[in-house]
Amino acid sequence: MSLPGKFGHMSTFHFLDDIDSIDPMPILVAPHPVLKQVATNVTPDDLEAIKAALPGMFSAMYKAPGIGLAAPQVGISKRFLIMDVSEKDAPREPKILINPEIIEESKESSVHEEGCLSVPNQYAEVERPASIKLRYSDLEGKEIILEATGLLATCIQHEIDHLDGILFVDHLSTLKRNMLMRRLAKEQKRKL
Ligand SMILES: [Zn+2]
């Protein structure tokens, strides 16, 4: 998700000291077929490959700039995502969520303007549950329960959608979605 947390385990993220010198992984742009796939669960066998991908993923997210990036957006159809919703100029708060699962959501909903690094330069208001409860694992395999509201809740739901092959434009009316996707296609063509 592209927009503006408090999380830790800095040892996992030692590469952030040199993030500007790390090549960003290319971000897939809709309508790429991997973005429509349902990603598979992360197993312990995947962890080494995930650790290897993290520097390039964080580099891509920070460079964009974005506040969240799901693995399918860089062509990895596995259920994990990275986030950093810290304020501009505040210390970085990198976070990785493995096999995230929403276990509760509020009846009350809220509307936020969303954008997406895979749908560049297109923005629209999306209505989602205002707060959620989430279960995920960190890189050490520890299970974590997190309650989120506001921007964090929106960002998490947007990124988990990516793991299910859903883009924020899929929450819009057909008319609105077609309009955004046509505009995106036109802009992408101009870039080539
Ligand atoms: Zn996105």
What pTM value is reported for the model? 0.92
How far is ligand 1, taken at its centre, from the CA of residue 16, in Å? Answer: 22
Q: Going from the N-terminus, what domains does the chain have, and what CATH number goes with each? A: 10-191 (3.90.45.10)
Residue 7 has pLDDT above 80, yes or no: no
- What is the tens place of the pLDDT at every residue in 102-160? 999 999 999 999 999 999 999 999 999 999 999 999 998 999 999 999 999 999 999 99
How far is ligand 1, taken at its centre, from the CA of residue 127, in Å? Answer: 15
CA–CA gap between residue 74 and residue 146 (Å, rounded): 25
Catalytic residues: 159
- What is the tens place of the pLDDT at every residue in 163-190? 999 999 999 999 999 999 999 999 999 9
Residue 48 has pLDDT above 80, yes or no: yes
How far is ligand 1, taken at its centre, from the CA of residue 142, in Å? Answer: 26
Contact 112, 95 (CB under 8 A): no
CA–CA gap between residue 14 and residue 121 (Å, rounded): 31
Cα atoms in the 13 Å half-sphere on the side-chain side of 62? 26
CA–CA gap between residue 139 and residue 153 (Å, rounded): 21
